[in-house]
Amino acid sequence: MASPSRRLQTKPVITCFKSVLLIYTFIFWITGVILLAVGIWGKVSLENYFSLLNEKATNVPFVLIGTGTVIILLGTFGCFATCRASAWMLKLYAMFLTLIFLVELVAAIVGFVFRHEIKNSFKNNYDKALKQYNATGDYRSDAVDKIQNTLHCCGVTDYRDWEDTNYYSEKGFPKSCCKLEGCSPQRDADKVNNEGCFIKVMTIIESEMGVVAGISFGVACFQLIGISLAYCLSRAITNNQYEIV
């Protein structure tokens, strides 16, 4: 049993650990809410784009929604464990944070290793979407139109990719290939965007990879801080037999 003076000296330290860990847990909980919101937004707004990347990529929004939900629940548990100053609950909290950190690490490594396959998959699926294109609202055709309108591009590598499609042989270039609104691709071939979409999409993805990598690294380091805080507070409570008055 620690002496009263020892316990009085330890109380401020433990209180400080609790305050910092509560702040950390709140921020961690907010990241879960953000992931949940991004997942829902991705499901509603970006599902067509994911389908062009890879058929399995349509599950990405569900992964974000699931991850966000887990983080919200874990953050709530961490807040409860910190307020209760329960050593075993704090150790369990640190263990869960470690598990999430390892999952994120593996996901980052897999994404880096297979980044070239992602590019090839997008190119193949985009080419397939062109050949099956129709203007009646098919979800892949709608995604093609949105990409071509947003990036001002036409086809995979250039506008000539359309010349091998059934749609072109019947109706010419789709309106999303036009440089200006109101142009007729059949009459105004000189007003069609010449650049392909694949290079533009890949340029955007590669330009953002540094930002994504930096954010991922920051999140990982942030979780290491939480693991350390939870473990240190648990150890301090155990060693000094701290009790809430």
Output the tens digit of pLDDT for each of the chain's 245 residues: 445 544 545 677 778 888 888 999 999 899 888 888 888 887 777 666 676 776 666 677 787 788 889 889 999 999 998 888 888 899 999 999 999 888 877 777 776 777 677 778 888 888 888 888 886 667 788 888 888 888 888 888 888 888 878 888 777 788 888 887 666 655 666 778 888 888 888 887 777 666 666 666 777 778 888 888 888 888 888 876 544 44
- Name the 3-class secondary structure at 172: coil
Q: Which of 186, 201, 194 is nearest to 154 (CA)?
A: 194
When computed from its CA atoms, the radius of gyration of the chain, rounded to whole angstroms, is 26
**102 HSE (CA, 13 A, CB side):** 6
Q: How far is CA 127 from CA 46, 117, 130, 174, 184, in A?
A: 19, 15, 5, 15, 23
Per-residue pLDDT at 214: 67
- Name the 3-class secondary structure at 2: coil
Per-residue pLDDT at 244: 45
Q: Which of 138, 160, 156 is nearest to 147 (CA)?
A: 156
For the entire predicted model, the pTM comes to 0.71
Per-residue pLDDT at 245: 44
Q: In this structure, what are the phi and psi dihedrals at residue 133, rounded to the nearest 5 degrees?
A: -65, 140
Per-residue pLDDT at 95: 93
